[in-house]
Structure 1
Amino acid sequence: MACKLFKLPRRQWLLLLLVALVLWGLLIVNINIGIVSNHDSGRLKNEVIRLSERYIRALARDNDGVVDGPYAGRFTAYDLKKTMAVLLENILERLDYIEHHLNISSNMTTLAQPARDGAVNKSNPVLAKDLIKGEEDRCVLSDKERQLYPHCQGKIEWMKAMWESDPCYKSFGVDGSICSFIMYLSEVEGWCPRSAWHGYNSVPTEKADHTNKANISTDLEGLMKLLVDPNERQGYAWIRMRIKRIWPRWEAAVTSLSQKQDLRGRRQKKILVHLGLLSKQSGWKFAEMQFKGGPLGELVQWSDLITALYVLGHQLTITSEAEQLSSVVSQLPAANSPCQSRKELPVDIIYIDIMGLKQFKKSVGNGFGKFSCLLRIVDSFGTEPAFNLHSFAKQRKKLTSWGGNDLHPQQFFTMFPHSPDNSFMGFVVERHLNESNVRDIKRTNSALVYGKNAYMWEGKTSYLDTVNKSGILIHGTVYSEDNKPLKLPAYVENHGLLNGEELHKLLRQSKIFLGLGFPYEGPAPLEAIAYGAVYINPKFSTSHNRNTNPFFKGKPTERELWSQHPYAEQFIGEPHVYTINIEDEEAVRTTVQKILDLDKFEGFLPYEFTEEGFIQRMNSYIEHQNFCQFQRQLAKWPPESSVKLLFGEAEKSCKDVCWEKNLICEPSHFLEANAHHSLMQKGAACAANKTLTDIFYPALDTKTNDCIIQQEELLFSCVGKQDNLRRLCPCRNYIKGQTALCVGCE
């Protein structure tokens, strides 16, 4: 018994000491009530309070970061504190009683009975004795809180029906009361405001002394050790080759950025990277086809993402097979539990693709909800809000195997900045040749065709004939399996698949890079432009979209492409890019002659596609994006200073409304715009106020003059538009050459 006693925790020793002192004090006071002075009574009272405060401080330190409250569940010592509250309240009553009788004895006057004997203090309606009896605080949502947390009430209703469906809810203190629902939904899952139950209502800050720092890393061998394929399928082979080729540029870029921007003091994040496209289960054979003419755009993105995360100093776990992912997930706490606590997760961010997402959902089962906000989906063509919300997509018959994941639209990371609803990840435009090598290569009247598969050339003979007749020698890099003959025009000099350095030498000596119309939005045109070749970008007579083109069928986007490479057309343009109808022979001939008449062929590369620009952008996302914290207005990024609300014309999307003012639609600020008074402040004369669910709101209906706000937060959309609606749009400024970031948002 003695041995156990000496092993008691510090807070229990303090409790024993406090109780002993109180009992001793009360005994002495009651025995010597006739001789104790007012001074002694005050001293004893102060000593009791002092020791009580010491106990509470020790208890707070031991329970730092634990969800607490009358309904907050296990390991919070709340029952012990309730007992202490009643004990101290009783002690103070006794001290008041003793003090009262001492005053009578010394002054021979009758004093009023202390307030504690009778009246309840109405400013603090829940007293210690009330807590013991199970009295609850009142937890209510104000109208403003309902607006800022639109999902809260729905989650409360779900909890009413389902809180007993799994024991984990009770383990967090849920007991069937509204307060316990709100406490759980605010502290554990983040759907409700803490202010509804008077909780701590500011953004929690991490303690610097308890976190590892993210230090810049330029150890190539350390990165290569992370990219070892356990099944020896060589799935990472192409990625490893790309990283090694341009590693010196990565080193120089992160060093340069650290001199321009303070990268010190960042918390090291634990990041899981899963490349589902390389898995055997995907059936896509990316690993097998990476050196046989298979698509490389996705591998370029993954290569650059992994490298940026590594040089920024974060802790990486990389997987590419479903078995590997399951092994990692099995180590996550309560992965199959529906309770969505994220307080002790051993991972901060998960980068994954659509195929990997399916594998991840299968691995975590019912526990997917607690991990969903950690996800970042590498999604080349993007996922629009209308296809992302499962219930809405199903109702509108837009549900596809790629969509319906109910994530925040900005959790999808795209190859180009084509939709502000998603986050622009991008990639790095590779440059193999240094300045001295470039100067030694002479540029000739030649063109390289953008199309490494023979089917891409079909139907383009007339176009190529026109270019060739203009005095241009045409080169190709078409892959031929087993050296089978290719049906290419006789004047084409085909080199087959080239390695990076040979391809870039060919780009450097060419004056023209010829687009054929497909593939859409690849990295090759930017590589050509970087070496000074002029890109002929095929313009389409009708838009290519999911209704008109098999390539987009099933993809979760309504985007309409009017050229092969919209980014090159919109953000670069002439003299580096000419967007023309390649079926118009005269337009082709005129454009080729314009290019031949140029005096200089200088390369151009937007900053956002350099190694430094990519690192800067990804670092900002890692530091500022937070999809787990639903009270995002407390830590808004981009800041409100970079955003203004604009009232658009009818039939225009917010993407177009903002772009016309040289601004970018910023979906993270739709909450500020989503109010009837915001519409009225912009001049809308509202005949009626409505709240509806669709991708067009907030907006003014020009036919009825109804002011309509959005009911479903996941449907806030920059691209939604309708003929009779004037949309209210949050628009932000941007850094030229770094469209994803606002001025001062690095």
Structure 2
Amino acid sequence: MTDPEEQKCDISEASASEYPNCREKMKWMEEGWRTHECYALYGVNGTFCSFRIYLSEVEKYCPVLPWREVAKDDISVLPANEVQPVVDLRFFRIMSHKKRDLSNLFKLMFDNELNYKFIRNRITLLWSKWLSAYDELMIRVASPRPKLNIIIHMGFLTEEAGFKFGELSSTGGPLGELVQWSDLIAALYLLGHNLMISTEVKTLEKYALYISLYNWHGDKKEFFYEKEEKRNLKKIDYKFPCPLRGKQVINLLFTDIVGLRYLRGKMSDFFNKMKCTVRVLDSFGTHAEFNSQNYFIAHKNSLGGSGKNPWGNNQLDLQQFMTMFPHTDDNTFLGFAVEMHPVNEDITRDNITLVYGKEGYMWKDAKPLIERVRKFTNVHATVSDNLPDFDDLIINHGVLTGPELHALMRRAKIFLGLGFPFEGPAPLEAIASGLVFINPSFNPPKSRKTADFFKDKPTLRELTSQNPYAEHFIGKPHVLTIDIENSSQVEDAVREALHSKPTAYIPFEFTVLGMLQRVSILVSKQDFCHASRFPPLDALLTVEAASMQSCQDACRQRGLLCERSFFRVVNKPEFLNKTGLCVALKSTSSPYAPYECMRQENPDLHSCASVPNVPKIRRICPCRDFIFGQTALCSSCL
């Protein structure tokens, strides 16, 4: 590069590893800056330096030039503990002093009454526990957290999705996702954040419109408030590719894969503007191989499953995907709160086995299992359907309310899994009520290659049981993982469960306080819009994996977790050429990189979970510690 102007605005190799998308974005700007007038409004004029200044001070893809003076009110340079001011948007009706009043929260749930029925009921039922947890958390918090403006869009509840989860929630339908969303909403509200909640696309589009209007007319409140109702909303173009001006109006946008697909397809410009703020609730997780469209297309024949990727190709940072359980180190563990009730350990329980399977299809081929269990206990069920084949074998209570179900759990001794549903919240609720969970094992493990349920899922995970978290993180005496088709294992497990007297137990990360602490830290510190400073770099511990071993397994062997955000740090010569034997470092776009002498060329493919298919590859892995009972957080993350 000979142009002096370009030389002073170029990005160094060291900075490029910290800001891996900078050069790609600089290349795009050469032509892309002409696609919308907003770039010129930010000072882009076609010169190399104007691209660099825009990408460092507005979109944050590049490091700030040392000779540039950054505006003092730029939120990207606020100290970590400084509270960001709240923008006075009309839909933000929640103020921190009202956060204990549920009526203010429920006013935000207005676009479909049926969709919110379960959510309102669950939040109300647990509200006293949330308040107690909040009071305890505030004693622990050393400094104030930012109060953020947050959109919550539950795409799976929309009419367009067609799942009818809201309608089915009271008739025995799937509840796992609704449990997680309910708990997330409760936590965010109680922490004082300002919420926009939607379960219909029309509501989401209206929010997007208001944000766009505020973006350009926020200083003219009479325009925003008075004239908005008179406008034909369909004729106003809310599409706008540049980030919001001045203070960030929306800090986070929580959605699910259904909502993400709608944003990418029907609201693409709004999505591109908000992309780094998006958090996606994704129960089973997303692996790097399915996040990158180019990689999936090139390797789909070796990835098993249907050969399709309907829930992938989203090209977000993998840590923007938030899971139900801490099963995928590449993603972020969000979790849920387990409903706990006081358990009198002195009471005598009845010889009751409660079966985990609330819909008729889950009982297919289960008759031999139920007959074996009936040799030892009465068998109870909460099935929404009639089960004529089991009329003489079980006592079916039908669909129960939450309090009714927990009352039944406190009478029983055993909670028996049938193998499906996978990774639901019910086993943890049973363990919290003092039951022993008999957890069906899977051999071979369930995955894209062995189970129709996973054939389209964007993950290579292999489930070794119906609830791997209960199997690996809890275990005996609360969890007995067995082959339920092996009669001797079943009978031995039932005997062991009946003779053991486990106390009610739940890991801290699944308590109300555990979730509230985790949500508080993640929403205030996790950042995908700027160069990451969370977790802090002093948490990094490097490990060399064994041959044919993933970084996730290599770290866990040592009692650590793989920390994906640290791959950018270990993707450097001092880590890749420790022996000094590399003649030169090479680069590759592979989920197995980095490893000795080989850099990762595509940061989207950084992967904790990927297992090399070549024996000579020994991956260089970034690990971190974690707080006992709170795996999402490192010891220096608080």
TM-score (norm 2): 0.88
Q: Secondary structure at the match of 1:513?
A: strand
Matches within 5 A, 1:79-90: none
For 1:521, the equivalent position in structure 2 comes to 423
**Counterpart of 1:347 in structure 2: which amino acid?**
I
Which structure has the greater CA radius of gyration?
1
* Cα distance in 1 for residues equivalent to 2:193 and 2:631: 24
Change (3 A) 1:604 1:509: same
For 2:352, the equivalent position in structure 1 comes to 446
Question: How far 1:546 sits from its partner (Å)?
Answer: 1.3
For 2:134, the equivalent position in structure 1 comes to 254
Corresponding residue to 2:267 among 349, 364, 375: 364
Question: How far 1:647 sits from its partner (Å)?
Answer: 0.9
For 2:536, the equivalent position in structure 1 comes to 639
Corresponding residue to 1:211 among 85, 103, 116: 85
Question: How far 1:137 sits from its partner (Å)?
Answer: 8.0
Kept after mapping to 1: 8 A contact 2:354/2:409 = yes
Matches within 5 A, 1:648-687: 648-681=545-578, 683=579, 685-686=581-582
Kept after mapping to 2: 8 A contact 1:402/1:554 = yes
* Cα distance in 1 for residues equivalent to 2:83 and 2:600: 43
* Cα distance in 1 for residues equivalent to 2:466 and 2:252: 33
Corresponding residue to 1:696 among 592, 600, 603: 592
Change (3 A) 1:303 1:486: farther
Q: Secondary structure at the match of 2:286?
A: coil
Change (3 A) 1:137 1:671: closer
Gaps of 5+ in 2: 87-94, 216-237, 301-306
* Cα distance in 1 for residues equivalent to 2:553 and 2:292: 23
Q: Is residue 317 of structure 2 the alignment partner of residue 416 of structure 1?
A: no
Question: How far 1:161 sits from its partner (Å)?
Answer: 2.8
Q: Is residue 397 of structure 2 the alignment partner of residue 495 of structure 1?
A: yes
Kept after mapping to 2: 8 A contact 1:332/1:345 = no
* Cα distance in 2 for residues equivalent to 1:379 and 1:354: 7
* Cα distance in 2 for residues equivalent to 1:564 and 1:485: 22
* Cα distance in 1 for residues equivalent to 2:323 and 2:203: 25
Q: Secondary structure at the match of 1:313?
A: coil
Question: How far 1:157 sits from its partner (Å)?
Answer: 1.4
Kept after mapping to 1: 8 A contact 2:56/2:65 = no
CA RMSD between the two structures: 2.3
Greater RCO, CA 8 A, separation 6+: 2
Question: How far 1:440 sits from its partner (Å)?
Answer: 8.0
Question: How far 1:445 sits from its partner (Å)?
Answer: 1.7
Aligned identity (percent) is: 41
Kept after mapping to 2: 8 A contact 1:613/1:738 = yes
Change (3 A) 1:303 1:473: same
* Cα distance in 1 for residues equivalent to 2:68 and 2:180: 45
For 1:81, the equivalent position in structure 2 comes to none
Q: Secondary structure at the match of 2:618?
A: strand
Q: Secondary structure at the match of 2:585?
A: strand
Question: How far 1:344 sits from its partner (Å)?
Answer: 4.2
For 2:27, the equivalent position in structure 1 comes to 157
Corresponding residue to 1:350 among 246, 253, 276: 253
Kept after mapping to 2: 8 A contact 1:376/1:413 = yes
* Cα distance in 1 for residues equivalent to 2:428 and 2:503: 13
Kept after mapping to 1: 8 A contact 2:17/2:569 = no
For 2:228, the equivalent position in structure 1 comes to none
Corresponding residue to 1:466 among 372, 377, 387: 372
* Cα distance in 2 for residues equivalent to 1:138 and 1:317: 43
**Counterpart of 1:589 in structure 2: which amino acid?**
E
**Counterpart of 1:712 in structure 2: which amino acid?**
N
* Cα distance in 1 for residues equivalent to 2:313 and 2:270: 18
Corresponding residue to 1:621 among 522, 542, 563: 522
For 2:496, the equivalent position in structure 1 comes to 594
Question: How far 1:570 sits from its partner (Å)?
Answer: 0.7
Question: How far 1:439 sits from its partner (Å)?
Answer: 5.7
Q: Is residue 14 of structure 2 the alignment partner of residue 144 of structure 1?
A: yes
Gaps of 5+ in 1: 1-124, 127-134, 701-706
For 2:472, the equivalent position in structure 1 comes to 570
For 2:111, the equivalent position in structure 1 comes to 230
For 2:437, the equivalent position in structure 1 comes to 535
Corresponding residue to 1:740 among 632, 635, 638: 632
For 2:150, the equivalent position in structure 1 comes to 271
* Cα distance in 1 for residues equivalent to 2:98 and 2:366: 48
Q: Is residue 410 of structure 2 the alignment partner of residue 508 of structure 1?
A: yes
Q: Is residue 587 of structure 2 the alignment partner of residue 714 of structure 1?
A: no
Corresponding residue to 2:201 among 318, 322, 342: 322
Change (3 A) 1:691 1:474: same
Question: How far 1:383 sits from its partner (Å)?
Answer: 1.2
Q: Secondary structure at the match of 1:331?
A: helix
Task: Point out the structure with the larger helix share.
Answer: 1
Q: Secondary structure at the match of 1:662?
A: coil
Kept after mapping to 2: 8 A contact 1:141/1:196 = no
Change (3 A) 1:194 1:557: same
Change (3 A) 1:414 1:684: farther
* Cα distance in 2 for residues equivalent to 1:362 and 1:197: 40
Question: How far 1:588 sits from its partner (Å)?
Answer: 1.3
**Counterpart of 2:328 in structure 1: which amino acid?**
S
Aligned length: 592
* Cα distance in 2 for residues equivalent to 1:378 and 1:420: 15
* Cα distance in 1 for residues equivalent to 2:119 and 2:424: 17
**Counterpart of 2:210 in structure 1: which amino acid?**
Q
For 1:11, the equivalent position in structure 2 comes to none
For 2:619, the equivalent position in structure 1 comes to 727
Kept after mapping to 2: 8 A contact 1:217/1:312 = yes
For 1:339, the equivalent position in structure 2 comes to 242
For 1:546, the equivalent position in structure 2 comes to 448
For 1:52, the equivalent position in structure 2 comes to none
**Counterpart of 1:237 in structure 2: which amino acid?**
K
Change (3 A) 1:591 1:684: farther
For 1:220, the equivalent position in structure 2 comes to 102
Kept after mapping to 2: 8 A contact 1:456/1:518 = yes
Change (3 A) 1:136 1:542: closer
Kept after mapping to 2: 8 A contact 1:214/1:267 = no
Question: How far 1:338 sits from its partner (Å)?
Answer: 2.5
Kept after mapping to 2: 8 A contact 1:138/1:197 = no
* Cα distance in 1 for residues equivalent to 2:246 and 2:412: 56
Change (3 A) 1:342 1:585: farther
Change (3 A) 1:194 1:450: same
For 1:434, the equivalent position in structure 2 comes to 342
Q: Secondary structure at the match of 2:271?
A: helix
For 2:363, the equivalent position in structure 1 comes to 457
Question: How far 1:612 sits from its partner (Å)?
Answer: 0.4
Kept after mapping to 2: 8 A contact 1:325/1:360 = no
Superimposed CA distance per residue, residues 564-597 of structure 1 (whole angstroms, 9 cap, x where no aligned partner): 1100011000111111111111111112112222
Which is further off, 721-730 or 512-521? 721-730
Kept after mapping to 1: 8 A contact 2:82/2:145 = no
Question: How far 1:196 sits from its partner (Å)?
Answer: 6.7
Change (3 A) 1:692 1:216: farther
Change (3 A) 1:216 1:579: farther
For 1:193, the equivalent position in structure 2 comes to 63
